Amino acid sequence: MRMIPFAPAFPAEAPGESPTMKYAFFVASFALALMMTGCTASSGLNVPCSLPKKIDGGTVVPITEREVQESLNSGSGATRDFVAFGAVDCEDSVCVRDSSFPKGTKLDDPALGYCSRECAPGITCPSDDSALDSRGDTRMACRPLLLTREALQAIAASGKTLGVQEPYFCARGGLPDAGR
């Protein structure tokens, strides 16, 4: 019997079977078994993140808690949702902070939110941690957060872009901001 280095010994092969085929089958079966041992795909949703912003020269820095609270305290900002693109701690690079998110106490600290992604109305937005989905204050839904679809189309028609075509994102809460 011929042996393949680092391969398990197999009994004598039947006509038409080669040790290489048996080894490949063994490796593929082992890999499949490993993948099926409870590993679940991460949605990346509802994971804590820092809201980023670009400053002169394209450098990305965190938005501070002070900036968020000043924006919320300015007139109509009381029900404002924040959407920040380019969040390095999020799988889809989108960090959201809805109007009911708890305020931070240290004004010079980075403003926190949670990871989100674009969505289409009617789809589910399962959190990375399923325990968050059972609580009303942390359950996510697909809802409009940005300007209306018409406003986004008008911006695109003017030659500018925000990088999104639709206002829908996975977010906590049920009240759409949609540019209000």
User: For the chain, what is the domain count?
Assistant: 1
Please indicate, yes or no, whether the overall pTM of this predicted structure exceeds 0.75: no
Q: Among candidates 133, 132, 115, which has minimal Cα distance to 169?
A: 115
pLDDT tens-place string over residues 78-102: 567 888 888 888 988 889 988 788 8
Check the CA dihedral 64-66-70-73 and report its sign: positive
Within a domain: 26: no
Within a domain: 6: no
Within a domain: 55: yes
Within a domain: 20: no
Residue ranges making up the domain that contains 147: 48-172
pLDDT tens-place string over residues 35-69: 444 444 556 899 999 999 888 877 888 999 999 88
Within a domain: 25: no
Contacting residues for 23 by C-beta, under 8 A, at least 6 apart? 4, 7, 8, 10
